[in-house]
Chains A and B, each alone.
Chain A
Amino acid sequence: MNNGARLAIDIGGTFTDVVLEHGGGQDSLKLLTTPDAPERAVLEGVGDILRRSGVNASDVTLIIHGTTLATNALIERKGARTALVTTDGFRDSLEIAYEHRFEQYDLYMERPPPLIERDWRFTVPERIAADGSVLLALDEEALRALAADLGKTGVEAVAICFLHSYVNPDHERRAGEILAAALPGVGITLSAEVCPEIREYDRASTACANAYVQPMIAGYLNRLQDGLRSQGLSCPLLLMMSSGGVTTVETAVRLPIRLVESGPAGGAILARDIAKENDQDKILSFDMGGTTAKITLIDDFQPHIARSFEVARTHRFLKGSGLPLRIPVIDMVEIGAGGGSIADLDAMQRIRVGPESAGSVPGPACYGNGGVAPTVTDADTVLGRIDPARFAGGQVTLTPERAVDAINRDIGEALNIDTNIAAAGVSEIVDEHMANAARVHAIENGKDMVGRSLVAFGGAAPLHATRLADKLGIDRVIVPQGAGVGSAIGFLRAQISYEVVRTRYMDLREFDPIAVNGIYQDMRAEAESVVRLGAPDEALVETRSAFMRYRGQGHEIMVPVPVRVFGTDDGAALAGWFEAAYSALFSRTIPNLAVEALTWTLSLATDRPGVEMAPSIREQYHPDPLGQRKMFDPASGAWIEAAVHARADLRPGAVIQGPAVIVEDETTTLVTDGFGATVNALGQIVLTRMGAAG
């Protein structure tokens, strides 16, 4: 798979990134995304990059593609005309959701409207019980009548979600057959296929979202494949999934919901490999852009996979304000903290930063495009951390005076403090928010920050990485090359994989090895059928886990389980593995309490391509700076001189002492006083705290 050239394409909301990896190295380019026909930018970019690097289309052996199209369709509510068919009596599950207010004190809170409105939600008589037995047979006549009615409405997609279909999908399957026969050309999603898990609202939400984006994704992928073929690219096209694995077009068309958040997943995969290259087994991946910051914890070179995710949060990125999706997803926390995040004061005269963002239009005050609110980028400009002439590769010329005015007007004067201190305060508060989000995320996963290295990418991360590291007690920060197209580079390093989940409730005192072995056999077969489409001959690695809890608890924890046939005695073994995992999370176990398992998962992936550690550097040198710049030092409250270096000029072995800035087109790396920077053999900047070991 590593012979020949490989292409990675990442469609984001604003930019489409194309990366070509070939014998001669790696090329990349950025184009504006073309939302009306996203394949246009892709095909243009692919043509350009092949021409520019002199690679023949026929030499490209693989294309890996990630896209935010599904996510954007859900955020902007621009999906297909979708109907939901559900069990009689449960028409409103999708709307009633969790019966929850996610904002305790807000009397004016609004829940996100359901993806499918009430007049597009239909019910049929049928009922499966919790144990899978049939309480009421599926009324096929009612379903045929419904199909006839639906046929007249111009429906484009249908989601079917019946109660307890995760344990017995027969009614859903039969209903799917009847609807498919009556509604040719209409995409049909079965909840038991997308998300065979207990909890009717979450399952329905996932199934509806899948149906909602399916026609659009299917159409897009077909057009893209045709376009690529007409450019002479007949190699396989694989799609990046939220889990960090890649899959075939066929699977992507069937389960397009697994494509959401593929960009951030690519970033996490890149961070994973950087961890390996630097031999750091505990990583905090930190991606800070214009609007949000994403934080992922990666231990033992394996990003943690969560089973659920919330897309399209409508209210201050608050938990509960989006649509729940139960899909395998690289576990990350996203908060409204980016370069464009707006700073103001709250009722207690405290500086507040974000989640509102000035975005790219009008942008921070210093852009001079009409933005007046002070932002994080304005604060960084006031503090002298950004070169106004070189921001974003010189595409935007910053006006520092506007930044000073904005910070002073909204923060400095209101608090009666010096402008520089006010700017330092804005920067400090956004760093604190990110540090707090990272800590809370860690505690939710039973992890901590001890011994972690930070991998920083995205336009704003390398500016804030060392201060974040201070707050988290982290001694090492790594800034990769090509940080601006990090997700696409990550795609090239992903494995072909597929994750399957089944719910099967079991009290471990009555462990049923035959049932569990059967479940795993089924899951393996399902996963293999998908993975083999993209990797017909390669060796595959299987991993398993079970979600368990003490009997009576409401939250399950993930427990890795071995890949083998289980015997009668393994109930006790499973309980033991659970207790070990529970103890790691919560520092104690509870004696005499029964353990139950709810959900079983299996992941099947191609073997990971080996990642070489960065060779050690033989010769170090101290590069001459391009010049000096005045930078405000919050610790001393004084302006200090900082050396300015151009990243493009630095060779492996370069050693730079803080305070300094290392500038490149997409970002600036801030080397604070307490850190020293070296450039390693792979061209990555490694910042190490002075006095810290190694």
Chain B
Amino acid sequence: MSGADMDRIRYQVMWDRLLSVVEEQAQTLMRTAFSTSSREAGDISAGVFDLHGQMLAQAVTGTPGHINSMARAVVHFLDVFPIHVMKDGDIYITNDPWKGTGHLHDFTVVTPTYRNGAMVALFACTSHVVDIGGVGMSPDGRQIYHEGLNVPIMPLAIEGEMNQWLLNLVRANVREPVQVEGDIYALAACNDTGARRLFAMMDEYGLDDLDALGRHIIEQSRTAITARINALPQGSWKHAMRIDGFEAPIDLVAELTISNGIIHVDYTGSSGTSDFGINCPMCYTEAYTAFGAKCVVAPEIPNNAGTLDAITVSAPDNTIVNAPHPCAVVARSTIGHMLPDVIFGCLHQALPDRVPAEGTSNLWNVKLGAGHGITKRTEHETTAFMLMSFHSGGAGARPRLDGLSATPYPSGVRNVPVEITEAITPIVVWRKELRTDSGGAGAQRGGLGQTMEITSREDAPFGIFASFERVLFPARGRDGAGAGATGRIRLASGKDLNNKGFQTIPAQERLIIEMPGGGGFGDPKARDPEAVAEDVRLGLVSPEAAARDYGVVEEDGEVD
């Protein structure tokens, strides 16, 4: 009987345990978080690293935006504070968009972990805080300096003592000081949870360090993802997509090359930076590029140092996908969320029938507010509020499956219930319903968008911080299918609003938000007439659209 055989099983069990450790770490963070994006949308991440800063395991959370970006962040920490200067009880922190995860709202916290006096691992985690000062979550800022407080890599705790000077500084610079401080404490606490679980595992298996286990994890993962990539067609494919942008439309252009066990994506040809906060730092571009490619090529291979270099990204300086300091970046997801669609456009040429059509992709989050500095004072007393509510249009149709309606991709957020929104703000949502005929026509239909109608209960004006895409350029279909409907933001009285930037809804007006639909897949005429009839029966497609787009006319219940 070979001991090596048994070791192999032991390694696997410990690997599974490590994945469970980071899952527990992430759960702890989500359950103690304050900001809506962290707790409802899972906009957090958690991972464990070896002493070289190589990531061994990362929790699967609601956001792909931290894939690879958090892994690289730890290396930046070690550049500033090498292992030998760290001490037991130290905790380090940053929200530098270019060294962390792309905007100032994300804090990354790294905790070196000591067992029996020796450092055995580093735990890292990231979370989106409620506020970081500056202009807030609106892309109206012109430079990073407009967007709030920037904390370079520094200690959050030194040998067990919290850095009160830093916490004072943070509290003085943000709109919700207690909640932001609570979020920072939650980050520190979740790393402690991870460390406790890791120690229990090391005790059970009699491990003194993670070296051999780490090598095993990295090697197995690298071998697996390399094999997957080598099994794909080899070559280069190019694809471009035009999106609305802020001050001008933006072209996202990618060339995807599969060779030598690596997928490389080059964004040469993409538009230059924007004057507003929709620029995307390279780390965030990398995250969504890797996520899109992994969904197609290796969805079940966990993220770690072994998969980090399998999907590589390049982009010229000063482009919208590689925006340098001091560009404004707060709404970098405007670009990031669109990148998987561009990757899919390339991969569709190499792998027909594997990738979905274009979807709404960017979230249609409803960000509303009223109060000093936001809306003008009114005669009667009104309630000041800020609301961030997560919502989605339709996703792209898949080969063989319709697109999902009112469902995000690539983001993995959950919505905020209307009753919760109304309980904490003076807002009334009068309608939140699927939008008939918004799904792109196709053999597989695109997902439907939804319509929301909103007023103030106090008949007071309120502001909208718009950051919407697919208003000018729709989500396109594939292989002869139709595009999804474009989105629209308007007042019930008739006026259209801009898709980006702050605007005011006058008192007694009703705001109508019509979210886009996803693109279709394949020739609509090839859609099963029964499926079209079913869509008509359910009111997802109107009889007129069924006749026009699908050539299906229903008379007296008979499909013609």
- Is B one of A's binding partners? yes
Q: Taking chain A's interface residues, is the majority helix, strand, or loop, or is none over half, making it mixed?
A: loop
Q: Which of B5, B8, B223 has the most CB of A within 10 A?
A: B5
Among A402-452, those with CB < 8 Å from B are 415, 417-418, 420-421, 424-425, 428-429, 432-433, 436, 439-440, 443-444
The listed residue (A88, A166, A417, A588) touching B189 by CB distance below 8 A is A588
User: Please, which residues of chain B bring their CB within 8 A of the CB of A201?
Assistant: 417
Chain B 327-356 interface 0/1 with A at a Cβ cutoff of 8 Å (1 = within): 000000000000000000000000000011
Is B31 a contact partner of A586 (Cβ separation < 8 A)? yes
Docked pose: A118 CA to B406 CA in angstroms: 15
The listed residue (A92, A555, A592) touching B178 by CB distance below 8 A is A592
User: Please, which residues of chain B bring their CB within 8 A of the CB of A585?
Assistant: 31
Q: Which of B193, B223, B296, B422 has the most CB of A within 10 A?
A: B422
Docked pose: A111 CA to B405 CA in angstroms: 10
Among B343-379, those with CB < 8 Å from A are 355-356
The listed residue (B301, B404, B430) touching A347 by CB distance below 8 A is B301
Does B314 sit within 8 A of A, measured CB to CB?
A: no
How close is B557's CB to chain A, nearest CB, in angstroms? 13
User: Please, which residues of chain A bring their CB within 8 A of the CB of B24?
Assistant: 439-440, 443
User: Please, which residues of chain B bring their CB within 8 A of the CB of A539?
Assistant: none
Among A321-372, those with CB < 8 Å from B are 346-351
Among A50-104, those with CB < 8 Å from B are 88-93, 95-96, 98-101, 104
Does B428 sit within 8 A of A, measured CB to CB?
A: yes
- A117-B538, A200-B419, A471-B204 in contact; A443/B220 too (CB < 8 A)? no
Is B299 a contact partner of A106 (Cβ separation < 8 A)? yes
Among B390-443, those with CB < 8 Å from A are 390-392, 398, 401, 404-409, 412-415, 417-420, 422-423, 428-434
Chain A 545-562 interface 0/1 with B at a Cβ cutoff of 8 Å (1 = within): 000001011110000000
> Which among B9-17, B70-78, B89-97, B133-141 touches the partner chain?
B9-17
Is B401 a contact partner of A89 (Cβ separation < 8 A)? no
Is B405 a contact partner of A350 (Cβ separation < 8 A)? no
* Chain A, residue nearest B355 (CB): A107
Is B1 a contact partner of A436 (Cβ separation < 8 A)? no
- Chain A interface size range: 35 or more
Is B414 a contact partner of A99 (Cβ separation < 8 A)? yes
Chain A 135-156 interface 0/1 with B at a Cβ cutoff of 8 Å (1 = within): 1000000000000000000000
The listed residue (B296, B301, B392) touching A107 by CB distance below 8 A is B296
Docked pose: A130 CA to B425 CA in angstroms: 9
Does A692 sit within 8 A of B, measured CB to CB?
A: no
Docked pose: A593 CA to B301 CA in angstroms: 41
How close is A411's CB to chain B, nearest CB, in angstroms? 10
Docked pose: A93 CA to B182 CA in angstroms: 33
Docked pose: A637 CA to B178 CA in angstroms: 57
Among B314-332, those with CB < 8 Å from A are none
The listed residue (B12, B294, B415, B431) touching A98 by CB distance below 8 A is B415
Is A96 a contact partner of B405 (Cβ separation < 8 A)? yes
User: Please, which residues of chain A bring their CB within 8 A of the CB of B540?
Assistant: 118
The listed residue (A90, A550, A586) touching B34 by CB distance below 8 A is A550
How close is B336's CB to chain A, nearest CB, in angstroms? 15
How close is B8's CB to chain A, nearest CB, in angstroms? 7
Does B539 sit within 8 A of A, measured CB to CB?
A: yes
Docked pose: A130 CA to B450 CA in angstroms: 22
Docked pose: A638 CA to B2 CA in angstroms: 11
Docked pose: A106 CA to B390 CA in angstroms: 21
Does A119 sit within 8 A of B, measured CB to CB?
A: yes
Does A199 sit within 8 A of B, measured CB to CB?
A: yes
Is A440 a contact partner of B20 (Cβ separation < 8 A)? yes
User: Please, which residues of chain B bring their CB within 8 A of the CB of A580?
Assistant: none
Is B178 a contact partner of A347 (Cβ separation < 8 A)? no
- A108-B401, A347-B298 in contact; A444/B31 too (CB < 8 A)? yes
Is A90 a contact partner of B5 (Cβ separation < 8 A)? no
User: Residues on B close to A: CB < 8 A?
Assistant: 1-3, 5-6, 8-9, 12-13, 15-17, 20, 23-24, 27-28, 30-34, 36, 39-40, 60-62, 64, 130, 176, 178-179, 181-182, 185-186, 189, 192-193, 197, 200, 204, 220-221, 223-224, 227-228, 294-296, 298-301, 355-356, 390-392, 398, 401, 404-409, 412-415, 417-420, 422-423, 428-434, 450, 453, 457, 537-540
Closest 6 CB pairs of A and B: A637-B1, A89-B431, A105-B299, A554-B39, A436-B20, A99-B415
A-B contacts, 11 listed (Cβ < 8 Å): A99-B406, A100-B412, A105-B299, A107-B356, A110-B404, A118-B540, A198-B420, A420-B1, A421-B2, A440-B20, A552-B34
| Further 9 A-B residue pairs, CB within 8 A, beyond A163-B422, A432-B16 | A90-B433, A100-B407, A163-B418, A202-B417, A347-B298, A418-B5, A425-B12, A505-B423, A587-B189
